[in-house]
Structure 1
């Protein structure tokens, strides 16, 4: 089994708590928080470890909060490759209203990086990339880094592997879609991101698959995976179109669900599983994360229990 490297450019220490009712004005006394390491690649790495995979998590960290994040990764049995950058690692905070079940999520931006930070990160990524393995760039690109940073990562890892999985957002995603250069191995988008990119609603599975194959035709990626919320996810290559329906779970928290999907999908691909089976693992992991409290992702055996309910079919 190939080792996997995940990359988190903008990690966070995640706090999740709850209160009887969220109201404006008075001081609100929350329950004791759950504290977890967070950020796209971190959560993907946590999911891989929970599923029994081997993974290293490269994280850009700074300050006391960065040290806390590294300690939290030790607790999760995730091997960290720390790249120390300027500024303090950020925090994210989520509060669940126990009366309504609504979850309020607050995320502060990471501190701006400079050219020295970018060069240091790319050098560390090039050294840590597993030979013929998978590299997973998941989460936002930190302010100050170039919009084409995913393409720079692909170039940096080229001497060792071309299997780059990208799950990013905002300007970096827009740049990748508009000016792809060499295609990444796998690109994942959620439904909102796909609809923003195409400029209209993707009302059906067929429309999501058509959009995915259009990206492939334009050289963005070899494989495109698209989320469709609670309905499930699609996967497309030039010659294959697959839809996997998600099982019903009672929603507890959506934090990290997309990252869990990316981690489980990448693990299955690293084990040379068929694309439809890899999609099933991703959908099962995302569903398990949605059904788990706060920032916990999922517990032992929960993904495996949901997997039989995740039906993949060619479309």
Structure 2
């Protein structure tokens, strides 16, 4: 096993993911589904799962509640992912995906998580302060649970920065908007996918040049030292003050996009924690995302498939 720095992931709004299939999705009649698949879900959870699948070690702080929260922790234990559960108000949510066998279309549904309280925020920050390692990597990934302060991710980043931790954030919606609109100390790396970048910029990310300009603007504004922005099946771009790379994956027949972004972050974080250069870390991320879209339902990538994709990826200097 290669040496690596400590990796701690944080999931503020996890879910138990259910995936199934049906002959055809139509309104009205009862639809007879295939056998369900259950997986632990949520951004940071999937990041930690990916790190472990690729031969690394990651601990996962997970906000959980109720019977569904207990099921999530049991699912993580079954994969030998070290979990650090933090009991919070309410019941952990579920997400589910249904594949239409007649045309391979995938329908994804996500219910809102429980509204957390100020005591929950305090307990989460206390757990993060306890478990964040000096000079380690901290990944904040996924949505922010309702009820938490608007700047909660920034609070976490400031807290772990005192230990010299390098922070990676992959989020969306209002949490992403706030990070971009109110930057404080730049985080180490921020990942933004293509649709999120278009929404944040107020313009379509039609070309590679559009994505490059968007990422460079965020670096210049002090949002993050490094911005990684996706372009779907085209690949991903990495921009910092020192580097500008574009990694293109091989042509892949996609079965399910669930978890691909999380797999990207997990593989890239592991590579960085092992001391790999930014372009190589980007390549591992793109490879893991590519290997994940080849799987069914809520399944994540496996090491052999990631290695095959990695060998077929191409890095360009922009």
What is the aligned counterpart of 1:267 among 270, 276, 301? Answer: 270
What is the aligned counterpart of 1:121 among 121, 124, 137? Answer: 124
The answer for the alignment partner of 1:137 in structure 2 is: 140
Distance 1:202 1:65 in 2: 38
Matches within 5 A, 1:115-194: 115-194=118-197
- Is the CA contact 1:47–1:263 (under 8 Å) kept in the aligned structure 2? yes
Distance 2:283 2:292 in 1: 14
- Is the CA contact 1:62–1:84 (under 8 Å) kept in the aligned structure 2? yes
What is the aligned counterpart of 1:286 among 274, 279, 289? Answer: 289
The answer for the alignment partner of 1:27 in structure 2 is: 30
- Does residue 50 (structure 1) correspond to residue 53 (structure 2)? The answer is yes
- Does residue 241 (structure 1) correspond to residue 244 (structure 2)? The answer is yes
- Is the CA contact 1:276–1:313 (under 8 Å) kept in the aligned structure 2? no
Matches within 5 A, 1:194-233: 194-233=197-236
SS of the residue corresponding to residue 301 of structure 1 reads helix
The answer for the alignment partner of 1:18 in structure 2 is: 21
What is the aligned counterpart of 1:90 among 93, 111, 126? Answer: 93
For structure 1, the residue ranges without an aligned partner over 5 or more in a row are: none
Distance 1:213 1:239 in 2: 11
* Shift of residue 25, structure 1, vs aligned partner: 0.2
TM-score, structure 2 normalization: 0.98
- Is the CA contact 1:123–1:156 (under 8 Å) kept in the aligned structure 2? no
Distance 1:223 1:2 in 2: 19
Distance 1:271 1:299 in 2: 19
Cα RMSD of the aligned pairs, angstroms, is 0.8
SS of the residue corresponding to residue 196 of structure 1 reads helix
Matches within 5 A, 1:58-77: 58-77=61-80
Runs of 4+ in 1 over 6 A off after TM superposition: none
SS of the residue corresponding to residue 303 of structure 1 reads helix
Distance 1:282 1:111 in 2: 31
Distance 1:299 1:55 in 2: 16
Distance 1:215 1:8 in 2: 24
Aligned pairs, number: 315
- Is the CA contact 1:60–1:85 (under 8 Å) kept in the aligned structure 2? yes
Distance 1:45 1:206 in 2: 32
- Is the CA contact 1:132–1:161 (under 8 Å) kept in the aligned structure 2? yes
The one-character-per-residue Cα deviations of 1:205-229 (angstroms, maximum 9, x if unpaired) are 1221111111011000000000000
* Shift of residue 126, structure 1, vs aligned partner: 1.0
